Amino acid sequence: MKITIIGTGYVGLVTGACLAEIGHDVFCLDVDPRKIDILNAGGVPIHEPGLLELIARNRAAGRITFSTDIAASVEHGDVQFIAVGTPPDEDGSADLQYVLEAARSIGRYMNGFKVVVDKSTVPVGTAQRVHDVLAEEIAKRGLAGSAQHGFSVVSNPEFLKEGAAVEDFMRPDRIIIGIDEDESGNVAREKMKRLYAPFNRNHERTIYMDVRSAEFTKYAANAMLATRISFMNEMANLADRVGADIESVRRGIGSDPRIGYHFLYAGCGYGGSCFPKDVQALIRTAAESGQNLRILEAVEDVNHGQKEVLVRKILDAFGDDLTGRHFAVWGLAFKPNTDDMREASSRRVIEALLLRGATVTAYDPVATDEAKRVFALDLKQAPELLGRLTFASSQDEALVGADALVIVTEWTAFKAPDFVHLKSVLKAPRIFDGRNLYEPDAMAELGIDYQSIGRPHVKLATDATPAV
């Protein structure tokens, strides 16, 4: 089948590359020439494991094309995927300007029946707005009512985890397709069935429903996962106070099959492109419908506060004035296997340390370049703070001369460091672990002052760096 993907971000690139991999002829469109130049030069503008190789293989096979030519993209695909960004607006609602502009472009140039697929995460009712924009553009061309210019709008939300997006797409646990029951919807259903047929050969993974329910399903899924994270973080904060170990608690409750282990890890808060904005957007949708989502409001509030937990632990150890203190930070991206800095906990932690007079050297295996760009924007009104932030080229380099190590992202490379070397280059053996990577008892045996989230604080017999 001939497929067009509008947007070459995480969702668009992964969708396009994976559909090409199963044999479809894919045209990827983006209005940003910088992205298309990178892709046509053999690069990828984002970090996603396996994506570069997947694109290279399908480019060589002639199954994937990248262009800024809107007319050509509409001409190419019988199925047009809209996979553009939906950033949060000032009031927390999803900004649909890019989605609707993509729909306008399709309406301006389409000749022949098109299935228009909302792949972007969009609020309930967006498919109707896309339908109205398409109809408006076709009417402007004097083609309203023409069977040759018919279309159907489908909701097909993505369920991809950054860092494992290719694997998630190629081995989906479910494929949600929302289609309204009418003549054009029946045509669209057959096309979508054919499109995803390779994923359903062993067993049927596709769940069909009405469009609004499909749109709602995406938000509900992310809201549930965010709720689990904030719940465990709140339990971890209580565990700190009552002397329990949240890791033991996690194993105890996760063994219940009704609960399970996924998304039960305590830490320093969630971030990224999905959970924060999707929770906000769902809260906003509810408010517009006259309902308060009290649980999700609490989820958001807990997550906001959780990004300060590590900072509070550091201040308890060193005092509120960190002037003259230097910290090593391991991990900048909001999660491992990505360079995504959106809503990353590292941004809050590092800025808080800098504001209190500290200097920071940070390291991340892939997100350093993106972090430099983001912090330059975050701190543009305070260049003196930016001057106290440096970036290391290795995790060992970041440690040199630091009063403590602060761990913010759970990269695999951080899980089994050389602790003897670590102790030798830090001013004092002290770790603040925002992802619970190490065992407190093991840290005690190594003589490391170790603080994590919701677990016992392992103190040195003699504190080499007393509070100031």
Residue whose tokens read 């992964």: 14
- Written as six digits, the tokens of 195 are 């499109």
On whether 415 is known to bind a ligand per the annotation, the reply is no
Asked whether residue 208 is marked as a ligand-binding residue, the answer is: no
Q: Say how far apart CA 278 and CA 6 lie, in whole Å.
A: 21
**In degrees rounded to 5, what are phi and psi of residue 151?**
-160, 165
206, 54 contact by CB (below 8 A): no
Using CA atoms, how far apart are residues 315 and 432, in angstroms rounded to an integer? 11
Residues in the chain: 468
Residue type for 48, please? E
Known catalytic residue at 274: yes
Q: Report yes or no: 268 and 435 within 8 Å, Cβ to Cβ.
A: yes
Residue 145 DSSP label: T
Query: In 3-state terms, what secondary structure has residue 104?
Result: helix
433 is in an annotated binding site: no
Q: Is 432 known as a binding-site position?
A: no
459 labeled part of a ligand binding site: no
Q: Over 437-451, what HEC string results?
A: CCCHHHHHHHCCEEE
Is 267 annotated as a binding-site member? yes
218 is in an annotated binding site: yes
Is residue 265 part of an annotated ligand binding site?
yes
Q: Please check if 352 is assigned to a binding site.
A: no
Give which of 10, 46, 8 is closest to 28, Cα–Cα. 8
Q: Is 30 annotated as a binding residue?
A: yes
Structure tokens at 229: 């994270």
* CA nearest to 371, candidates 337, 338, 326, 339: 339
CB of 29 closer than 8 Å to CB of 4: yes
313 in a labelled binding site: no
Q: What are phi and psi of 441, to 5 degrees?
A: -65, -40
Residue type, 252: G
Q: Is 160 annotated as a binding residue?
A: yes
Flag whether 2 is marked binding. Answer: no
Check whether 256 is labelled as a binding-site residue: no
Residue 162, annotated as binding a ligand: yes
Ramachandran class of 358: left when φ > 0, alpha when ψ lies in -120 to 50, beta otherwise: beta
Task: Give which of 263, 258, 166, 154 is closest to 206, Cα–Cα.
Answer: 154
Residue 277 labelled as part of a binding site: yes
Which amino acid is it at 183? E
Name the catalytic one among 18, 28, 268, 274. 274
| Catalytic residue numbers, as ranges | 274
Q: Which residues are annotated as a binding site?
A: 30, 35, 86, 121, 159-162, 218, 263-267, 271, 277, 335, 342
Binding-site residues for substrate, in ranges, read 159-162, 218, 263-267, 271, 335
Annotated binding site for NAD(+): 30, 35, 86, 121, 162, 277, 342
